[in-house]
Amino acid sequence: MAKEKVTFNVDKEKNFSDWYSEIVKKAELGDMRYNIKGFIVFQPWSVLSMEKMYGCLEEVLQEKGHKPYWYPVVIPEKNFLEEKDHVKGFAPEVFWVTETGAGEKLEERMALRPTSETAFYQMFAIWIRSYNDLPFKTYQRAQVFRYETKATRPFLRSREFHWIESHNAFASKQDALKQAEEDMQTTKEVLFEKFCIPFIFFERPQWDKFPGAEFTFASDSMMPDGKVIQLPSTHIISQKFTKAFNVKFTDENGKENFCWTTCYGPAVSRIFAAMISIHGDNKGLIFPFSVAPVQTAIVPIYTEKNKEKVLGEAEKIRKELKKKGISSEVDLTGKTMGEKFYFWEMKGVPFRIELGEKELKEKKATVFTRHSGKKTKEKISDLAGFILKEGKNQMKFLQEKANKNFDKVIAEADSFEKAKKVLKEGKIVKADFCGISMESYPCAEKVEKELNANIRGSRFPEKEKAKGNCIACGKKAEKVVYIAKSY
Ligand SMILES: [Zn+2]
């Protein structure tokens, strides 16, 4: 077969930024040419995968007792102004709806939701009556809108993003904190086990929490360019909001109390960005088997003479795989064989089945495995069995590889000098620090100024004991923190 021109070949290690921009275009993940700045069109190849990602997340959330809701996309200004820290945090990014098509001003401005606490809580106040209603666990899948002023990048930062927001109410602070631990577990079950993304779960410093929250916990993963990316976060909203929205319950003794609330926000579009960045290589994408838009590409090899027979067999295989829950697509394009191979490799399909006269005769198809580059002959009668087994192996391989790479990028430092060196190598600094309450804020400022990086927090729920002194002020350290450059 004639060698085809290479359609994708960007060195990811050397130039991750170019790799990312190129693959978004080449694999047709998202199109930035939509004519409103900061908004993109999500194309089938990303939508199909993100649908599966939503599926994984929703399945686990429902399993843990969260019920799905669909809230309006607009929030009245009155709700929005109820909690002052929240307003301060979000106000500059809000899109306001102010008038009708007839040019009439609306009586009250409405916000396109930037996040939906203030929508959920006003209904919580109506629905929650007694301790019997608690815990009250909800979620919705939704798009949210924030007027980002920083440069936008597809899936990573845009003015509209796709996420799940889970809002929950509890009888006590203890229950709320337990929910944060459950969210960490959910993150592990989905992000690591299904999307093969390693992460560290942190308690964020007090100066870096969600506007209106008492504590923020968040998972950070590592992008190939040495910057960390925040993936799902959980916030203990405490009673500030429930007091503002009057979300009360009557306890066993008939006494009225304010609820404690939490929210958990896995941003699917952002997680998608991290996933493709972590797993891809110089030939293009590599999708974890569980969330690949298409899990198997079937490439029929035929001449005019045997076309009908080969295509018939290919379609039979596709249907057989579908029965076993494997998504596949028969490549019927007029491209050359080489072009087809490159195309599916670039698209990151985990398996490619080649099927021609020879294969039909032998009753064995040639199967190419994307992540290992191996080609094997497999019985046509049991292609599904092979793919399901190897699909599991692929996930394990991606998990281990990503884990290994992640471990390699954490390095301890006990001075700014050393920390600078670690950060320059594109790594995360692990260091002793005086604390993560507001009292340590001056030390955090010093880190930001001198290292041009920030304190991501200390590990949660497990704790690491500090042995030395704060890297910034030299006082006895209370916490072990991680310092990194971030997205
Ligand atoms: Zn300090």
- Asked whether 306 and 204 are in contact (CB, 8 A), the reply is no
Distance 222 CA to ligand 1 centre (A): 25
- Residue 247 has a CB neighbour count (10 Å cut-off) of 24
Compute the distance from residue 429 Cα to the ligand 1 centre, in Å: 15
Quick one: tokens of 399?
A: 């998990």
For residue 413, how far is its CA from the centre of ligand 1 (angstroms)?
14
CA 158 to ligand 1 center in whole angstroms: 35
**Helix boundaries (H) for 210-287:** 240-245, 268-279
Domain count, the chain: 3
Q: Coil, strand, or helix at residue 123?
A: helix
Domain assignment present for 142: yes
285 inside domain? no
Q: Report the separation in Å between the CA atom of 458 and the middle of ligand 1, taken as the mean of its atom positions.
A: 14
Query: Is position 465 within any domain?
Result: yes
Q: 3-state DSSP call for residue 165?
A: strand
Distance, CA of 228 to CA of 232 (rounded, Å): 13
Residue whose entry in the numeric block shows the structure tokens 């002020």: 473
> Do residues 360 and 353 make contact, with C-beta atoms less than 8 angstroms apart?
no
Distance in Å, CA 467 to ligand 1 centroid: 14
**Distance, CA of 311 to CA of 300 (rounded, Å):** 6
Centre of ligand 1 to C-alpha 428, Å, is 18
Residue-range definition of the domain harbouring residue 67? 16-279
CA 70, 76, 82, 87 dihedral sign is positive
Domain boundary among 356, 390, 424: 390
Distance 477 CA to ligand 1 centre (A): 7
- The Å distance, Cα 318 to ligand 1 centre, comes to 61
Do both 51 and 139 map to the same domain?
Answer: yes
The pLDDT of residue 7 is 65
Domain presence at residue 9: no
Q: Which of 390, 420, 438 is the last residue before a domain boundary? A: 390
Nearest to 53 by CA among 187, 196, 190, 199: 190
Same-domain check for residues 123 and 254: yes
Closest CA to 457 of 487, 427, 478, 474: 478
In sequence order, what are the residues at sequence separation of 6 or more whose Cβ sits closer than 8 angstroms to the Cβ of residue 160?
Answer: 38, 39, 143, 144, 145
Cα of 444 from ligand 1 centre, angstroms: 8
Q: Which one-letter DSSP state was computed for residue 192? A: I
* CA 450 to ligand 1 centroid distance, Å: 14
**φ, ψ for residue 33 (rounded to 5)?**
-85, 5
Ligand 1 centroid–CA 205 distance in Å is 13
pLDDT tens for the 487 residues of the chain, in order: 444 455 688 899 899 999 999 999 999 999 999 999 999 999 999 999 999 999 999 999 999 999 999 999 999 999 988 877 777 778 889 999 999 999 999 999 999 999 999 999 999 999 999 999 999 999 999 999 999 888 889 999 999 999 999 999 999 999 999 999 999 999 999 999 999 999 999 999 999 988 888 889 999 999 999 999 999 999 998 788 899 999 999 999 999 999 999 999 999 999 999 999 999 999 999 999 999 999 999 999 999 999 999 999 999 999 999 999 999 999 999 999 999 999 999 999 999 999 999 999 999 999 999 999 999 999 999 999 999 999 999 999 999 999 999 989 999 999 999 999 999 999 999 999 999 999 999 999 999 999 999 999 999 888 899 999 999 999 999 999 999 999 8
Residue 435 shares a structural domain with residue 350: no
The closest of 335, 348, 338 to 26, measured between CA atoms, is: 348
| Same domain (yes/no): 185, 243 | yes
Residue 138 lies in a domain: yes
72 and 201: one domain?
yes
Decide which of 338, 357, 390 is a domain's last residue.
390
Count of beta carbons in the 10 Å neighbourhood of residue 81: 14
CA distance 25 to 276: 13
Q: Which 8-state DSSP code applies to residue 104? A: P
Cite the DSSP H helix spans in 280-347: 307-323, 337-347
In terms of domains, do 124 and 38 share one? yes
Q: Which residues surround ligand 1, an ion (CB under 5 A)?
A: 434, 443, 470, 472-473
Phi, psi of 9 (to 5 degrees): -160, 90
State the burial class of residue 205 (Cβ atoms within 10 Å of its Cβ: 0-12, 13-18, 19+): buried
Q: Which of 129, 131, 89, 117 is nearest to 245 (CA)?
A: 117
Exposure string for 258-283, b = 16+ CB within 10 A, e = fewer: bbbbbbbbbbbbbbbbbbbbbbbbeb
CA–centroid distance, residue 456 to ligand 1 (Å): 15
Report CA-CA distances (Å) from 232 to 218, 220, 268, 274, 464.
6, 8, 9, 12, 22
Ligand 1 centroid vs 258 CA: distance in angstroms? Answer: 36
CA of 409 to the centre of ligand 1 (A): 24
Indicate if 191 and 326 belong to the same structural domain. no
Ligand 1 centroid to residue 215 C-alpha, Å: 20
- Ligand 1: centre distance to CA 448 (Å): 13
Q: Which of 156, 150, 164 is nearest to 40 (CA)?
A: 156
Distance 478 CA to ligand 1 centre (A): 9
212 Cα: distance to centroid of ligand 1 (angstroms): 25
Whether the model clears a pTM of 0.85, i.e. scores above it, the answer is: yes
Distance in Å, CA 85 to ligand 1 centroid: 26
Per-residue tokens: 295: 């899990």
Ligand 1 centre to CA of 233 (Å) is 25
- Contact 228/110 with Cβ under 8 angstroms? no
CA of 25 to the centre of ligand 1 (A): 45
Whole-number Å distance, alpha carbon 232 to ligand 1 midpoint, is 28
Asked whether residue 30 is assigned to any structural domain, the reply reads: yes
- In the structure encoding, which two tokens stand for residue 276, read together? 């493709």
Q: How far is the CA of 419 from the centre of ligand 1 (A)?
A: 15
Instruction: Compute the distance from residue 440 Cα to the ligand 1 centre, in Å.
Output: 6
Q: Could you tell me whether strands 260-264 and 67-68 are parallel, antiparallel, or unpaired per DSSP bridges? A: unpaired
Distance 229 CA to ligand 1 centre (A): 25
Ligand 1 midpoint to CA 449 (Å): 14
Please state the separation of Cα 476 from the chain's center in Å.
36
Q: Are residues 334 and 436 in the same domain?
A: no
Q: For residue 6, what are the contacts with CB-CB under 8 A and spacing of at least 6?
A: 342
Q: How far is the CA of 441 from the centre of ligand 1 (A)?
A: 8
Query: What is the 446 CA–ligand 1 centroid distance (Å)?
Result: 9
Q: How far is the CA of 402 from the centre of ligand 1 (A)?
A: 33
DSSP codes joined into one string, 40-82 = -EEPHHHHHHHHHHHHHHHHHHHHTTPEE----SEEEHHHHTS
Residues 349, 217 share a domain: no
455 CA → ligand 1 middle, Å: 12
Q: What is the CATH number of the domain that holds 254?
A: 3.30.930.10
Distance 443 CA to ligand 1 centre (A): 5
Report yes or no on 86 lying in a domain: yes
3-state secondary structure of 198: coil
CATH of residue 327's domain is: 3.40.50.800
* Residue 300 and residue 264 in one domain: no
Are 249 and 319 part of one and the same domain? no
Length of the chain counted residue by residue: 487
**Helices (H), ranges, 81-224:** 84-90, 117-127, 173-187
Note whether residue 89 is domain-resident.
yes
Co-location of 361 and 455 in the same domain: no
88 CA to middle of ligand 1, Å?
A: 28
Task: State in Å: Cα 374 to ligand 1 middle.
Answer: 52
Nearby residues of 261 by Cβ (< 8 Å), 6 or more positions away: 117, 121, 124, 167, 168, 169, 170, 176, 237, 238, 241, 242, 247
